[in-house]
Structure 1
Amino acid sequence: MNTKIILHNRPNQTVTQDNFQCIDADIAPLKNGQVLVLNQWLSLDPYVRGRMSERKSYAPSMSLGDVVIGEGIGIVIDSQSDQFKAGDRVIGMLGWQTHAVMNCAAIKPIPQPPFSETWLLGAAGMPVHEKITENLQNAPQIFIDLLEGRCLGKQIIKLS
């Protein structure tokens, strides 16, 4: 069984609990190239508010009845893919739900870090992770630029 938080109606100004509905639903059978992910961490980002509106924006609006969008970290618990196996940790737009059936192209594997994986969440998390990984392969020291001007201070950590 999958517990989902769906967009029930659109907020007028302030988002309230009435804008959401919690429902239980069956989990769809996996197709070839899909995995079932148990969601463990969810990032609650400000951009979600804009996606609840029907106003024109850089990203499409959520439809009423959709699972509320959100980036998450989870564990693969079933797989119909050669890319991922049960127990793999992944990150992707898992949404506000306990379980997500995901196409493999829509998720990324994450290594077992010596620190909390929650630092990967949020708008800047994965770009920092990718930059660190790239720099570890190419240089003995880690240099992180501001990645197009975004402030990433909370994500920068010293690994060496």
Structure 2
Amino acid sequence: MAETNLKVVLASRPDGKPSTANFRVETGPLPEPAEGEVLVRNQWLSIDPYMRGRMMDIRTYAEPVALGDVMVGDTAGVVVASRHADFAVGDAVAGPLGWQRYGTLPGQALRRVDTARVPLSAGLGVAGMPGVTAWVGLMDLCAPQAGETVVVTAASGGVGGVAGQLARIAGCRVVGVAGGPDKCRHVVEDLGFDACLDYRAEDFRQQLKAAVPQGIDCIFDNVGGPVLDALVGRLKPFARVALCGAISEVDNPSPTGLRRLLPLIVNRVKLQGFIVGDHPARWPVAIDALSGHVAAGRIHYRETIADGLENAPQALLDLLAGRSLGKQLVRIT
């Protein structure tokens, strides 16, 4: 066991777009688990879009990271010391331990990763928070029925890719929206979507009309802005929209929200935003089902991996710039 802990802290708040200078790498002593706690040696760090908001001194659904504190994030690793009866040394676990090599948490804040069915890293992706997010938004809010048309934005990402595959398993026609031909090729060829549209294409709206000639029954949206506006115009009566994210508003000084309300009213659309942390009862159900789908080969996924905790800041910038494919992870060495 290493004698020191490596961690990345928030050094300053971004003035405009974030940079690696907003972070600082530090070393310190290994944390000691208190009674009821577990010490974990983290092997993987999840990099997710919500982290951008936590860098700002603005409270939304969660507190911002304080300057000098370890940056927030989910990790997956192995128990190296335990003072909790339900966990033993060697157990594979995941939890919100942050950007550090070692961390402690109360046992109830950790979840086991079933490495007999999925790799440990998947406990942060398809069988972790992104997968559960896809499950809650798609299965609970959209409630797709066989034969319906589902459109998923940011379809090549860790959440969108899973949401679309769940819709396919439910018997739906699934159209993805992604940025660039390479991502669209991955969405169709690797993830099994029926079609994928490049929102950067000049004829995006014409492609959309051709791809969903009968309209859209459900939108799983991670983007917002002009893309969502275009999709709203193709909604069918009694369609559902699950609002998962709004990446178009990140670092955009003049974001554009929904501008087309009439189609929502005329078509009696159900539109709902959600935060996956509000649905704790769904996590075990979703993770069990998703792990089964992965083990059976029904759900596929891609990981983009950065090596070394010190490279986590750049991994976050790459994710926000759209340079990641699938789930963005950091391998903690």
TM-score, normalising length: structure 1: 0.80
Match 2:294 to one of 154, 157, 160: 157
Between Structure 1 and Structure 2, the one with more helix by share is: 2
**Aligned residue runs from structure 1 range 13-92, under 5 A:** 13-92=16-95
Counterparts of 1:75 and 1:37 in 2: how far apart (Å)?
5
Counterparts of 2:12 and 2:119 in 1: how far apart (Å)?
34
SS at match of 2:84: coil
- Following superposition, the deviation at residue 15 of structure 1 comes to 1.4
- Following superposition, the deviation at residue 116 of structure 1 comes to 2.2
Question: Is residue 2:117 matched to residue 1:111?
Answer: no
Aligned length: 146
Q: Over alpha carbons, which structure has the higher Rg?
A: 2
SS at match of 1:157: helix
Deviates further, 53-62 or 92-101: 53-62
Calculate percent identity across the aligned residue pairs. Answer: 32
Aligned AA for 2:296?
A: L
Counterparts of 1:19 and 1:159 in 2: how far apart (Å)?
42
Counterparts of 2:139 and 2:294 in 1: how far apart (Å)?
14
- Following superposition, the deviation at residue 114 of structure 1 comes to 3.8
- Following superposition, the deviation at residue 41 of structure 1 comes to 0.9
Query: Greater RCO between the two (CA within 8 Å, min separation 6)?
Result: 1
TM-score, normalising length: structure 2: 0.40
Runs of 4 or more off by more than 4 Å in structure 1? 126-129
Which structure 2 segments of 5+ residues have no match? 143-158, 166-190, 192-289, 298-333
Match 1:95 to one of 90, 95, 98: 98
- 1:80-111 CA-to-partner distances (Å, cap 9, x unmatched) read 11110100000101111000111111111122
Aligned CA distance change for structure 1 residues 12 and 43 (closer, same or farther; 3 Å): same
Aligned CA distance change for structure 1 residues 120 and 128 (closer, same or farther; 3 Å): farther
- CA-atom RMSD, angstroms? 2.4
Counterparts of 2:56 and 2:87 in 1: how far apart (Å)?
35
Give the structure 1 partner of residue 131 of structure 2: 125
Aligned CA distance change for structure 1 residues 119 and 147 (closer, same or farther; 3 Å): farther
- 1:97-149 CA-to-partner distances (Å, cap 9, x unmatched) read 000111111111122234423233143234679x9xxxxxxxxxxxxx63434
Which structure 1 segments of 5+ residues have no match? 132-144
Give the structure 2 partner of residue 11 of structure 1: 14
Aligned CA distance change for structure 1 residues 148 and 73 (closer, same or farther; 3 Å): farther
Aligned CA distance change for structure 1 residues 46 and 58 (closer, same or farther; 3 Å): same
Aligned CA distance change for structure 1 residues 91 and 128 (closer, same or farther; 3 Å): farther
Deviates further, 94-103 or 111-120: 111-120
Match 1:148 to one of 133, 141, 155: 141
Asked whether the equivalents of residues 119 and 125 of structure 1 are also in contact (C-alpha less than 8 Å), the reply is no
SS at match of 1:53: coil
